[in-house]
Structure 1
């Protein structure tokens, strides 16, 4: 091979790396967002020590961005408007269908609670008041039922797919009415107020609600439970330059005082590495 050909071949091999280097994002401000499972002020307060830690590691400001729906978080990570997002599993799958380059890098391992086992998995559960006459899913006919958000894994996707497949009960047909509360906390509040007679929520969110003193451990009764679902992933934008992405991954997974505070505030045991394989089983349940 001539020297000219070798040079041309070398340039051609370097072009993809040059294009990546030109197109990847080296943010002046890194933006973090989370799906609204609980009051946003509470969620951002939990993340504040890690936000400050990320600022120190990256050497740039890190901002928390308010998002009032799961769809807004999906749009933010897909568009590149946000760089790091804590997403529900189904929200992550919906986003990945539009941008296969986004990366789930970390998730939580929690202590056990009233409804959740210890570990990295939770469940979609169907709750009714403890004194309710509803004993099984077949009793839902004509009842007011709460979901959370259309993009919530445990509060909508699983109830409208897996629950239907297991029980043969189409919620849209039997509920009177079927309402979207907007968040797990709001669904539980509707259940407490008697505005609905049953609610699908995440087991972990029900546990958190009880642990905050907003309900008693004996206030509800569970009448259906889904298969285990891996906890929410922290997801990186596909646009971030590799060095930024690696710094974020390392900061989330390496023990530090800020990480310990995040775990303390969330009442979690650990932050663990995850990959797409942990959430792939949800793909057939998600409509593009």
Structure 2
């Protein structure tokens, strides 16, 4: 009986320990779930591509988004991140209802993340395009693009993320790949950051060449007037379509239609209210309006990506001509698939 009692007491002790452990585990799971706030059904989640810093982008968009919230009667939560990859992940996790994106991010959102283009940005001069740039210090020995290209391994490069059209894709497609070069191996060193920090790196002598675009350069000139005077443009791309607004397929009606109508109509008209809206739009660098658009507006980005991939395949090192030709056929097939996804 003594041994049986001992075994019973031990079993009870282990049972109590088990209950405590279970309770602790449940508590930890609850705490973990609390760390990621649940989406409110009533809120509109607006993703903002970072221009400058994430904090600057939020501040620039805030007056417009306050109007959106008041007009539609829904709170607006901004998803403002410091990187393109961060915004892409938020879209993939379905934490974004509507977003401002540039070309490659928008292509991924349409092709893989159940979103569609509803509007395109119009610049303050009425254009619907930007240009990518390469910048150096005014006192740089790189007087022109050929000087840079004729000295591989000498210069330090500050570029955008691989998802950035003006920070990576355009310079790669229009400068490096046609010459059989890859910027990641051409330069002595490569630093990846946003346009503002890359331009500051050139000004401060931490990089020799930086990528940017005209809206970001305009913003840099406004925020850093002294430093911007120390920069010089040595290359400009062909015109690249402006960024777009994409909206999640599953956003319920009539909220979806009201949201699209608000963005497309914002700042348009001749009355005082529209004039006030245009003033709020002007807080966002180089933005004047949102014009109606659909997925087909992304075709120039797909064409640029296709050109880049074909050039990289043609100039790459391959074990055989057969391997190269197979890669080219794969690039062609992916291009056709990408175009097919743009069609309604």
TM score, norm. by length of structure 2: 0.68
Say if 2:120 is the partner of 1:102.
no
User: Partners of 1:201 and 1:272 in 2: how far apart?
Assistant: 24
User: Partners of 1:234 and 1:177 in 2: how far apart?
Assistant: 35
- Aligned position for 2:222: 211
Residue 215 of structure 1: how far off its partner (Å):
4.3
Does the aligned pair in 2 maintain the 1:137–1:167 contact within 8 Å? no
User: Partners of 1:75 and 1:255 in 2: how far apart?
Assistant: 28
Does the aligned pair in 1 maintain the 2:64–2:281 contact within 8 Å? no
Q: 1:278 aligns with which of 261, 279, 297?
A: 297
Say if 2:46 is the partner of 1:32.
yes
Task: Name the SS for the 2:184 alignment partner.
Answer: helix
Does the aligned pair in 1 maintain the 2:241–2:300 contact within 8 Å? no
- Aligned position for 1:10: none
TM score, norm. by length of structure 1: 0.80
Residue 175 of structure 1: how far off its partner (Å):
0.4
- Aligned position for 2:88: 74
Shift in CA distance, 219/231, structure 1 to aligned 2, threshold 3 Å: same
Structure with the higher fraction of residues in helix conformation? 2
- Aligned position for 2:137: 129
Does the aligned pair in 2 maintain the 1:110–1:268 contact within 8 Å? yes
User: Partners of 2:147 and 2:100 in 1: how far apart?
Assistant: 35
User: Partners of 1:260 and 1:27 in 2: how far apart?
Assistant: 30
User: Partners of 1:134 and 1:227 in 2: how far apart?
Assistant: 21
Shift in CA distance, 93/38, structure 1 to aligned 2, threshold 3 Å: same
User: Partners of 2:236 and 2:287 in 1: how far apart?
Assistant: 22
- Aligned position for 2:105: 91
User: Partners of 1:212 and 1:168 in 2: how far apart?
Assistant: 37
Moved over 4 A (4+): 215-218
Residue 167 of structure 1: how far off its partner (Å):
4.3
User: Partners of 1:32 and 1:137 in 2: how far apart?
Assistant: 39
Superposition CA RMSD, Å: 2.4
Residue 128 of structure 1: how far off its partner (Å):
0.9
Q: With a CA cutoff of 8 Å and minimum separation of 6, indicate the structure with the bigger relative contact order.
A: 1
Which structure 1 residue ranges, 5 or more long, are not aligned?
1-24, 113-117
- Aligned position for 2:169: 157
User: Partners of 2:279 and 2:124 in 1: how far apart?
Assistant: 15
Which structure 2 residue ranges, 5 or more long, are not aligned?
1-38, 268-272, 310-333, 335-344
Q: 1:59 aligns with which of 47, 54, 73?
A: 73
Task: Work out which of the two has the higher radius of gyration on C-alpha atoms and give 1 or 2.
Answer: 2
- Aligned position for 2:279: 261
Task: Name the count of aligned residue pairs.
Answer: 257
Task: Name the SS for the 2:86 alignment partner.
Answer: helix
Deviations 1:83-110 (A, max 9, x none): 11111222111222213x4122223322
